[in-house]
């Protein structure tokens, strides 16, 4: 097997390919590598790069230089599997690395083409690239470090490169969990002691502890989407639910913004009880609170809840189970107290701002006023979100929206924007970041 690397800076690779496991693997003849200097394929006194067409700064590596370099390496080692590096490429993960390792072992020749300057002429990627890889949502000075990162990840899966197969198969991201914490001597260091459980000699207890620690690292450390991507067994899901902070929902029918700048109450509807309860059950919420201070609304709601808790079971078992999540409260303060009594700590609050007004006048309430799930993420990472200013009104009779409940009146000159709406978030990071910020409390 051979790895060809075409680069403008071949000296960067000498210590990397010579030392540690990669160097030893080459000494044992497991694979070979050849680093080629792209400058050697430029004509005498000719530049290897040229300005990009159109406005903008930066130089691009010329396509004919790369054409000659690729042809030269394939003449030596045969047809190759060509990998380019760019922020727009496919994000590298463990499955990806394993697959490329299999490609290397099957095709016996992979070629890495790290760029520099502003990159390469796009036609080179279009013509040659078998795949394009990104190692993260950030920009480096060139593709040489990503090429080394890829090699480290890929070569671990080549038999004989890593001494023990167990080190590869049981490491982080080889399954749904990242690795658990490990310890060595001394027993005590900087006031911290090696956990007693892993010194007990009880292998079953040690295994359970390690899984618990790996779960915490995975779920609270930003890898929730990775965890969810696996076909998880019921036991692992159950253990994960013990670690993920419980989530609550409160539907406020008090302190509602009404027309003419009035603040008041609203009626509880059947949809509020049935449909939202089923959604709460679907998404695994701990409890769903319906908040109304009106006695008649409480009586009506309680009558429906009592029905579904008893006779409703015969009509619709799923709705019966979902409605068990519903709890009646007369105010947000009472709701917060119920959660505090259950969890013994102050919950983190995320509120729907258009429907709530002046409910956090007292100090000490940790609250985030938001419009929806998109804006929740805006609080975590505003730089990653796309926002737009709208003029929003709430109405229910259909005069403005033909039955819809929210109207955007930006087209009327007299109506100035009154709301900033988050229009886009990076989906892959939303759940991870949301769980990370909630790991210290409940919402």
Q: Which residues are catalytic?
A: 87, 118, 156, 171
CA max distance for the chain: 91
The distance from CA 428 to its chain's CA centroid, rounded to whole angstroms, is: 4
Report whether 221 contacts 261 (CB < 8 A): no
What would the DSSP string read from start to end of 170-206? TSTTSSSS-PPP---S-SEETTEE--GGGGS--HHHH
Beta-carbon contacts of residue 163 (< 8 Å; ≥ 6 apart): none
Radius of gyration of the chain (CA): 30
- Which string of b and e fits 309-343 if b means at least 16 CB within 10 Å? eeebeeeeeebbebbebbbbbebbeebbebbeeee
Distance between CA atoms of 224 and 260, rounded to whole angstroms? 44
At a CB cut-off of 8 Å and minimum separation 6, what does 216 contact? 243
Q: Is the Cβ–Cβ distance between 108 and 74 less than 8 Å?
A: no
The tokens describing 252, both together, are: 């406020």
Q: Name beta bridge partners: 387.
A: 422
Nearest to 5 by CA among 113, 97, 162: 113
Interatomic CA distance for residues 433 and 221, integer angstroms: 9
Contact (CB, 8 A) for 305 and 274 = no
SS3 (DSSP) at 386: strand
**Of all helices (H) and strands (E), which one includes residue 214?**
helix 203-220
């Amino acid at each position: 097997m051979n790895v060809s690397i075409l680069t403008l800076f071949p000296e960067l690779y000498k210590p990397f390919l010579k030392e540690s496991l990669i160097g030893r693997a080459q000494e044992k003849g497991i694979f070979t590598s050849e680093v080629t200097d792209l400058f050697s394929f430029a004509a005498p006194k000719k530049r290897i790069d040229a300005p990009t067409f159109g406005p903008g700064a930066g130089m691009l590596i010329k396509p004919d230089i790369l054409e000659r370099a690729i042809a030269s390496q394939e003449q030596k080692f045969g047809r190759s599997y060509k990998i380019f590096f760019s922020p727009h490429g496919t994000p590298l993960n463990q499955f990806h690395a394993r697959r490329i390792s299999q490609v290397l072992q099957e095709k016996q020749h992979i070629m890495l083409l790290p760029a520099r300057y502003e990159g390469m002429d796009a036609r080179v990627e279009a013509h040659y690239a078998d795949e394009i890889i990104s190692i993260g949502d950030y920009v480096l000075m060139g593709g040489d470090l990503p090429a080394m990162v890829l090699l480290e990840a890929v070569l671990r899966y080549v038999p004989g490169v890593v001494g023990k197969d167990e080190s590869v198969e049981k490491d982080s991201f080889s399954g749904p969990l990242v690795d658990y914490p490990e310890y060595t001597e001394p027993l005590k260091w900087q006031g911290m002691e090696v956990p007693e459980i892993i010194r007990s000699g009880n292998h079953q207890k040690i295994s359970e502890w390690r899984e618990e620690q790996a779960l915490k690292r995975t779920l609270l450390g930003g890898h929730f989407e990775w965890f969810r991507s696996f076909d998880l067994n019921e036991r692992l899901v159950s253990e994960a639910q013990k670690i993920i902070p419980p989530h609550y929902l409160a539907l406020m029918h008090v302190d509602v913004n009404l027309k003419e700048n009035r603040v008041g109450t609203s009626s509880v509807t059947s949809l509020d009880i049935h449909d939202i309860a089923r959604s709460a059950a679907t998404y695994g919420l701990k409890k769903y609170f319906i908040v109304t201070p009106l006695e008649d609304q409480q009586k009506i709601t309680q009558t429906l809840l009592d029905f579904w808790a008893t006779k409703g079971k015969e009509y619709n078992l799923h709705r019966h189970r979902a409605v068990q999540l519903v709890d009646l409260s007369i105010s947000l303060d009472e709701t917060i107290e119920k959660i505090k009594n259950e969890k013994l700590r102050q919950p983190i609050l995320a509120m729907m701002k258009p429907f709530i007004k002046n409910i956090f006048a007292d100090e000490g309430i940790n609250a985030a006023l938001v419009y929806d799930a998109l804006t929740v993420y805006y609080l975590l990472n505003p730089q990653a979100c796309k926002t737009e200013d709208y003029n929003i009104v709430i109405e229910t009779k259909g005069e403005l929206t033909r039955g819809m409940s929210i109207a955007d009146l930006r087209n009327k000159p007299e109506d100035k924007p009154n709301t900033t709406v988050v229009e886009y978030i990076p989906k892959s990071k939303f759940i991870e970041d949301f769980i990370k910020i909630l790991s210290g409390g409940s919402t």
